Chains A and B, each alone.
Chain A
Amino acid sequence: MENNFENKEMTAQESLGIITEMMNNSRRSILQNSAKHFILWGALLTVMSLLIYELIHVTHDPIWNMLWFAMPLIGFPMAHFIGKSKVALPQNIISKQLHGIWLAYCAFAVVISAVFMFIAPQNLTLVIILAFGFAECVSGITLKNWAIIVGGFILGIGGAIAAIILRSEAQLLLFTLCGVILMITGFIVKSQSK
């Protein structure tokens, strides 16, 4: 950072310049960190869905779906690792809301998956993908980005319809699409923060 503020008097114009610069720089640093998390979870979701799809495709055994429960176990330590830096980044209202939205989604997804898999079998993909689209849509509203809002809406509604039409094995590829959308969201956030 090339700024080096002296403790000197300044004009109204200079004051406003400092306020704008500091707020923008801080916002950028925080959003870049959020972007890293979107890309990480998107990549992990893409890899996991393709892996499970391939394993079920080869063995014809749906037991491999249990691997989904490993995703938070792998993802959270990785997220903790990439969030670590020499200088601890603070939270602003946007990063805090994004964190809350996706943490809530994760909790819903894990609990509803367990209920549908072990207690009351239903079309799990339909519910998970609808909730995913909703979380993506709300993230877009938080980030004030129309591409993310519309993308989340189309993914949620389109994915739910596709989950009714597609057979269970092919439904897994819908999660690959979700992973790709998450990564794209991360790159949009990254470009927004430049």
Chain B
Amino acid sequence: MFPKLDPILHSELRLAVMSILAGVESAEFSYIKKQTGATSGNLSVQIDKLSAAGYISVEKGFKGKVPCTTCKITPAGLAAFENYVNSLKEYLI
């Protein structure tokens, strides 16, 4: 019996965002947008979903006069990500 994959993470863009954030301290919205190639609107929606799930924390601020959104993976997000990868392994073996 295969384990059920976390529906929050089992989506291309959300998984891409989590994969980026798992390897860095924190990342700005513009960096994640560049790495994923996603549109601002779609990325915002997915980031909100990850944030609502408690997987990432989002900090909105300013860099000079320009608005700046910084995302950071939470311990719960990291645990969920590790769990997701472990579940994937069972599918692939």
Q: What chain B residues lie within 8 Å of A4 (beta carbons)? A: 37-38
| Interface contact B23-A9, CB-CB below 8 Å | no
The count of A-to-B residue pairs whose CB atoms sit within 8 angstroms is 92
- Chain B residue with minimal CB distance to A30? B24
| Interface contact A10-B35, CB-CB below 8 Å | no
Interface residues on B, range: 20 to 34
Residues 138-158 of A contacting B (Cβ, < 8 Å): none
Q: Quick one: which of B19, B28, B63, B92 contacts A18, CB cutoff 8 A? A: B19
| Interface contact A7-B22, CB-CB below 8 Å | no
| Interface contact B35-A12, CB-CB below 8 Å | no
Any A CB within 8 A of the CB of B27: yes
A13 with B92: in contact, given A7-B11, A26-B20 (CB under 8 Å)?
yes
| Interface contact A89-B13, CB-CB below 8 Å | no
Any A CB within 8 A of the CB of B53: no
Any B CB within 8 A of the CB of A122: no
How many chain-A residues does the 8 Å CB contact rule pick out? Answer: 32
| Interface contact B12-A8, CB-CB below 8 Å | yes
Q: Quick one: which of A5, A7, A22, A90 contacts B25, CB cutoff 8 A? A: A90
Top 7 nearest A-B pairs (CB, nearest first) are A12-B91, A22-B19, A90-B24, A5-B13, A5-B12, A3-B37, A90-B27
Q: What chain A residues lie within 8 Å of B34 (beta carbons)? A: 1, 87
| Interface contact B36-A92, CB-CB below 8 Å | no
Any A CB within 8 A of the CB of B16: yes
Any B CB within 8 A of the CB of A192: no
Q: Quick one: which of B10, B11, B30, B35 contacts A1, CB cutoff 8 A? A: B35
Best-surrounded residue of B24, B36, B37, B88 (most CB of chain A within 10 A): B24
A7 with B23: in contact, given A1-B35, A16-B92 (CB under 8 Å)?
no
- Chain B residue with minimal CB distance to A86? B30
* Complex interface bits, A9-23 against B, C-beta within 8 A gives 1, otherwise 0: 110111110110011
| Interface contact B15-A26, CB-CB below 8 Å | no
